[in-house]
Amino acid sequence: MNSLVSTENQALARTVLELDVNNHPGVMSHVVGLFSRRAYNVEAILVMPVGSGATSRIWLLVNEDERLEQMVKQVEKLEDVLAVRRHGAEHEVFVRLEEFFR
Amino acid sequence: MPKHSPETLNGAQIVVRLLERQGVRTIAGIPGGAILPTYDALSKSTIHHVLARHEQGGGFIAQGMARVSGVPAVCMASSGPGATNLLTAIADAKLDSIPLVAITGQVPKPMIGTDAFQEVDTYGLSIPITKHNFLVNSADELLTVIPRAFRIAASGRPGPVLVDIPKDVQNQCIEVSEWPEPGCADPVPVPDGERIAQAAAMINGAAKPILYLGGGVVHSSASQLAVALAEKAGLPTVMTLMALGTMPVDHALSLGMLGMHGARCTNLALDECDLLIAVGARFDDRATGKVAGFCPQAQIIHIDIDPSELDKIKTAHIGIAGDVGTVLELLLPAVDSRQRQPWLARVAGLKAEHPLRMPGVDDPRTPYGLIRAVANCLDDEATITTDVGQHQMWVAQAYPLRRPRQWLTSGGLGTMGFGMPAAIGAALAERERTVVCFTGDGSILMNVQELVTAAEENVNVKIVLMNNASLGLVFQQQTLFYGERIYASRFKGMPDFIQVAEGFGVAAVDLDKEDHPLAALAAALKTPGPTLIHASIATHEQVLPMVPPGAANKEMIGG
């Protein structure tokens, strides 16, 4: 976290983050704001309401760099984030989405 | 929820009722179109409204109340410029973890997003500088949002919460039959006992440990426990700017403030330590200097209520998430009683060889001399606030702070203009105390309009204006690091501050013109009510020692 120089581009490994969040306007801004203020690019985003729609699930694809641990802790601190789970890049959520981007 | 007979109230009346139920006694703010329904409701309340003259001043008045009490304080503003003017005070509260509830008016819901008059995206603007924020959608929502705002502001690591309320929501009438409980801090999860045992073993095994106290010790009301730990385990103790007062500065184990303007002995002792016990401190760059050079030989125990602070700047060997007071309570019985020679002898040697040098301390016409002269007129019951700059660092170095919450300063954001309105807030919250605001000729002008608020409220605030006719810390940095190319830091025009104060209805005394400045100072500090005390100091005076920006703490200049 000490380095101001982004090493994202060199980093090849990717992580999929799965967030359970309250579903209301502004939650997405809170989440992505944590990344943008650190010049930490979010490669892919997917959001859908879950069940009754009171909560949503956000999927984020991000590059793994030395700031990721701190990012996850910051995301966990948000009031509207109920849970954060980490997956490897092999997680199929974005892989299966790829066909819509051809 | 206690039952009451149903009442029909509008959103504004609900807000005011919830604030009353919350125990709020004083609010600082400025009305305007979009918050007028709430002000109308407030006019019928017993809550005392302090009319600031700029919303930033209102925000800092609320901060002053929160900082001395530890309880969330409330500021209010209208939409648009009212809200944007509040932002600096909110950002300041975020960086120093101050519990604040900011309530702003917003244009009516149907007009949001139309670039209506005095419309700004207050919600969007405040996301990165608040702990949490709300855009309220209905009067009914207020019943959950307002108590929740107080709960969030006070829970865990405190911080500011903003509640943006559209005007039509303030006017919307609903039937209220049940009132929610006031919002109060959530219990903090119990810390990990095994890690506390490991930390105790590390402390017991260390040869050259140092205790490093931060603002979290103040927030947790844990200063007595911190001092008890230092005394039992024989720990020399350093404090961050935010923690000053948690251990009396003249305590035998105190090394005072660390970092950029810490004494040489303090930074040199840190350079030698083999164990650093960080308690409610966040390894701020002004405290650590170049991180790689900070306590290079030390293992680190880091105790903090905010898990995201652990391993953020420096990887801790033992990281303990929890309320620092709770952790210290559990840690105390597990550490051995130690005299810890020869480490304490070594630290005493460093203190004797490299003490904080305070040239002119006996002359009230020098910075250190003036600060000590003020201190000599007061006891530990006085509250001290500062603005930001050279005077702030001189006071941090030289004022004998001995009480937690005695010291109110803008640490993280470093906001010039903080001191005077914060002093007003401190005096409003604790009417019996004398509140001294040390300021400079640069800082005072950034919220000078609040002089009239001080006069109006007749608060017992003494503003000590150290006038060096410059932006002193900029002048110092240009002198030291920019080849003495002094630019835009020396004031050509200088207001007559005595006339300025008197023009605002505040008594003023100019120590420059007094044959017996000490007597004049003592008389001014003793007279109740707001007073401005003006004293010129030489422009070339520097805050020393100084760690050059980006350097390691042992590479100090001067002192």
ipTM confidence? 0.91
Backbone angles phi, psi at B105, to 5 degrees: -80, 150
A14 contacts A64 by C-beta, under 8 angstroms: yes
Q: What angle do CA B337, B339, B344 make, to 5 degrees?
A: 135
Q: Give the Cβ contact number of residue A40 at 10 Å.
A: 18
Residue B127, min C-alpha distance to chain A (Å): 6
DSSP conformation letters of B314-360: S--SEEEES-HHHHHHHHGGGSPP---TTHHHHHHHHHHHSPPP-TT
Q: Give the model's pLDDT for residue B2.
A: 55
Give contacts of B 178-207 with A, CB under 8 A. Answer: none
Residues B180, B431: Cα–Cα separation, whole Å? 31
Give the strand order in the sheet containing B48-51. Answer: B48-51, B26-29, B73-77, B100-106, B160-166, B132-135
B163 contacts B143 by C-beta, under 8 angstroms: no
Sorted by where each starts, the structural domains of chain B and their CATH numbers stand as 3-178 (3.40.50.970), 193-353 (3.40.50.1220), 367-536 (3.40.50.970)
Q: What angle do CA B19, B20, B26 make, to 5 degrees?
A: 80
Residues B511, B445: Cα–Cα separation, whole Å? 19
| Mean pLDDT along residues B50-57 | 98
Indicate the burial class of B178 (C-beta count within 10 angstroms; 0-12, 13-18, 19 or more). Answer: exposed
* Subunit contact A26:B127, Cβ cutoff 8 A: yes
Read off the pLDDT of residues B444-459 as tens digits, 9 standing for 90 and up. Answer: 999 999 999 999 999 9
Look up tokens 């199929």; give the residue: A92
B265 contacts B239 by C-beta, under 8 angstroms: no
CA A98 to chain centroid, in Å, comes to 17
Percent pLDDT > 70 in chain A is 88
Q: Give the model's pLDDT for residue B1.
A: 52
Q: Does B312 contact A at CB distance below 8 Å?
A: yes
Q: Give the model's pLDDT for residue B5.
A: 83
Q: Is-cis flag, bond preceding B545, omega within 30? A: yes
Q: Which two tokens stand for residue B534?
A: 């003006």
Which residue from B123, B124, B312 is facing A70, i.e. has the nearest CB? Answer: B312
Long-range contacts from B285-289, C-beta under 8 angstroms, 24+ separation: B286/B241, B286/B259, B286/B260, B287/B240, B287/B241, B287/B258, B287/B259, B287/B260, B288/B259, B288/B313, B288/B314, B288/B553, B289/B259, B289/B260, B289/B547, B289/B551, B289/B552, B289/B553, B289/B555
Q: Give the model's pLDDT for residue B253.
A: 98
Read off the pLDDT of residues B493-534 as tens digits, 9 standing for 90 and up. Answer: 999 999 999 999 999 999 999 999 999 999 999 999 999 999
Q: Is-cis flag, bond preceding B342, omega within 30? A: yes
Q: Among A1, A22, A32, which would you mutate to test the B interface (most chain B Cβ atoms within 10 Å of its Cβ)? A: A1
Q: Is the pTM of this model over 0.90?
A: yes
Q: Choose which CATH entry (3.40.50.2300, 3.40.50.2000, 3.40.220.10, 3.30.70.260) describes domain A14-101.
A: 3.30.70.260
Enumerate residues 6+ apart whose C-beta is below 8 A from B484. Answer: B478
| Mean pLDDT along residues B294-313 | 97
Which residue, among B412, B376, B401, B503, has the nearest Cα to B129 in the 3D structure? B412
CA B471 to chain centroid, in Å, comes to 21
Look up tokens 């973890």; give the residue: B97
Enumerate residues 6+ apart whose C-beta is below 8 A from B160. Answer: B90, B93, B94, B98, B99, B100, B101, B102, B129, B130, B131, B153
CA B543 to chain centroid, in Å, comes to 21
Q: Give the Cβ contact number of residue B337 at 10 Å.
A: 9
B180 contacts B8 by C-beta, under 8 angstroms: no
As a whole number, the mean pLDDT across chain B is 97
Q: Among A24, A70, A75, A78, which would you mutate to test the B interface (most chain B Cβ atoms within 10 Å of its Cβ)? A: A70
Residue A10, pLDDT > 80, answer no
| Mean pLDDT along residues B108-128 | 98
Read off the pLDDT of residues B133-182 as tens digits, 9 standing for 90 and up. Answer: 999 999 999 999 999 999 999 999 999 999 999 999 999 999 999 999 99
Give contacts of A 12-71 with B, CB under 8 A. Answer: 25-26, 29-30, 33, 37, 69-70
Percent pLDDT > 70 in chain B is 99
**How does strand A14-22 pair with strand A81-88?**
antiparallel
* Subunit contact B313:A30, Cβ cutoff 8 A: no
